[in-house]
Structure 1
């Protein structure tokens, strides 16, 4: 645990910390767990990435206190517990972090699965929708496919592939249409960057899900789908694990979007005024363009027929299949317009590490 010593100390949070501070802590410390402690360092509970997402889905704001979501009964081990026992407990409880506490309940360390054993390898494929014409990004896309537009010195598509590669993804399938030959020429079979890349080509645009009907053979495992213009720090593996835990056919990453009405709103029942709301904030969740699907989800597509991803989710629900939302808090750019491209360039150019936020 010596390697983890500095990091677990950074993962300690006071009980009055906000969700925003907790998210910042999770992103910066990198142990995927924050530990809520009292003024004497006694463990009050833990906060995982999943706890945060469930809180955001409940409608909590970034300013709400972390005590609203803290897990007050986390799995812990006492000081001196043997490594083999800790590993067995983590395996049995399907957790990747276990706090160590002393006889007074104070945090004394943190066991990480990554340091107890090599994380299990995976062979999940990733499908990247890279066929869009990028009409809103003209003139940049007149002679360049949108996913190949440079951001911080490299194509957007390369950012996506490298991010996934760092998480163990090695098989990619790219769906091409507009100027697709430029993408093929740049990446080839992927061997130059240590991955395997194959392609399908849409003769006509088939939508964000329709291109999946071209995959042959059908994947034998769950897989990730992402739009080729979405840059994010999301953990793509967690999307698949989230799908597995909830036994869902499809997962859609969603992001909270707040819109402030610029006007004072009059509340009425019929013609009677019942109240007023001055510039109310409307909160909703938007589709973030990243998904995890079970192979069987492809059975609800018709070959060569246009289908957008929300339509596929509707079909799955109509067939009695479970579809779930994955609330995300990670940095996220949907590079669809010139000012989005400019912002992505500014943000990523300032980074010295592998993450966006």
Structure 2
């Protein structure tokens, strides 16, 4: 980041160098502790030259306040939406002390550590429960807050440092492939695991197709359903998987059910307690996983294979499957009411 930030006494020449070397429209100015002071735009720099300043003059008189910042936990899609709304091409990432630690630009994010882990997003389902919405649009391409659900997932992974993403496609695959291409415009590399339309592979079978493309994962693999709206912490999930030394880690959400009656507790047919409309809660599968690469060899070829079969196999072998409770927003989009909820309707 140090080569992207300038202090107030830097020269206009220095600012042009930062702009040209990094393809930026704005240069951010910080104090000695890296706290954000303001910014100077390329347009401001050129206007200054036309008004008679020299390349060796300091940029201080041209620096203007900059209010649009993002936190380190900010969702990449939300930041891009903010950039579009404000008509800017860059937004700095600041910590709790207003120190600049990263930078969002249109096609990349700077300052976020890159992860060696690949991600696979399952995006091939038919989405029959959401028909007729899914008659011409794949379920993961339905929009929430103006963006396809699948795009939000991809941007979230990119914002977390994931650079290599595989999309498992089947139903209306051409719609997804046309939208995402090679992923370059989103700041990542995307390839496709293409199922045979007549042979759906389920929630786990498509992982076997990685080998067909000649790929062999060397690090734990992130796997998730393509119909989720979530800002889960990729780093915390991977850290839990490493710390627990598990072969697989399942992210869990919470399911709550309220009994709509008064529950009667008894002992030998004698009433001991009345509990009015009690609520029970259980951990449930959130459709987000981390898998050790060795597990991919256990997935049968050319047949439907639920990913949960993989976890059951681990249990039969006495191998560790860890659970990681989600503390972030999470919404599954499988039914009309869930889609409406995610859309705030």
Relative distance call for 1:214 and 1:29 in structure 2 (3 A) is closer
C-alpha displacement at 1:31, in angstroms? 7.9
Relative distance call for 1:248 and 1:271 in structure 2 (3 A) is same
Residue 194 (str. 1) matches residue 187 (str. 2) = yes
Gaps of 5+ in 1: 6-27, 33-96, 98-108, 348-357
Relative distance call for 1:274 and 1:245 in structure 2 (3 A) is same
C-alpha displacement at 1:304, in angstroms? 2.0
Alignment deviations for residues 133-182 of structure 1 (CA, whole Å, 9 cap, x no partner): 11111110011100111221121111110111111111110111111111
- Which aligned runs of 4 or more in structure 1 are off by greater than 6 angstroms? none
Structure 1 length as normaliser, TM-score? Answer: 0.63
The match for 1:297 is: 295
Gaps of 5+ in 2: 1-31, 37-69, 75-94, 103-110
Relative distance call for 1:320 and 1:143 in structure 2 (3 A) is same
The match for 1:49 is: none
Indicate conservation of the 8 Å contact 2:183/2:190, yes or no. yes
Relative distance call for 1:31 and 1:218 in structure 2 (3 A) is closer
Correspondent of 2:157 among 153, 160, 164: 164
Correspondent of 2:234 among 222, 233, 236: 236
Number of aligned pairs?
Answer: 248
The separation in 2 between residues aligned to 1:329 and 1:154, in whole angstroms, is 23
The match for 2:205 is: 210
Structure 2 length as normaliser, TM-score? Answer: 0.65
The match for 2:14 is: none
Relative distance call for 1:161 and 1:29 in structure 2 (3 A) is closer
| Structure showing greater Rg | 2
Indicate conservation of the 8 Å contact 1:133/1:178, yes or no. yes
C-alpha displacement at 1:192, in angstroms? 2.7
C-alpha displacement at 1:201, in angstroms? 1.8
Residue 280 (str. 1) matches residue 278 (str. 2) = yes
SS at match of 1:346: coil
C-alpha displacement at 1:341, in angstroms? 1.7
The match for 1:104 is: none
The match for 1:85 is: none
The separation in 2 between residues aligned to 1:319 and 1:218, in whole angstroms, is 23
The separation in 2 between residues aligned to 1:162 and 1:3, in whole angstroms, is 27
SS at match of 1:139: coil
Alignment deviations for residues 239-260 of structure 1 (CA, whole Å, 9 cap, x no partner): 1121011111111110122211
SS at match of 1:226: strand
Indicate conservation of the 8 Å contact 1:223/1:240, yes or no. no
The match for 1:122 is: 115
Relative distance call for 1:124 and 1:246 in structure 2 (3 A) is same
The separation in 2 between residues aligned to 1:230 and 1:326, in whole angstroms, is 17
C-alpha displacement at 1:299, in angstroms? 2.5
Alignment deviations for residues 248-295 of structure 1 (CA, whole Å, 9 cap, x no partner): 111111012221100112234565544332211111111111111110
C-alpha displacement at 1:223, in angstroms? 1.4
The separation in 1 between residues aligned to 2:130 and 2:281, in whole angstroms, is 28
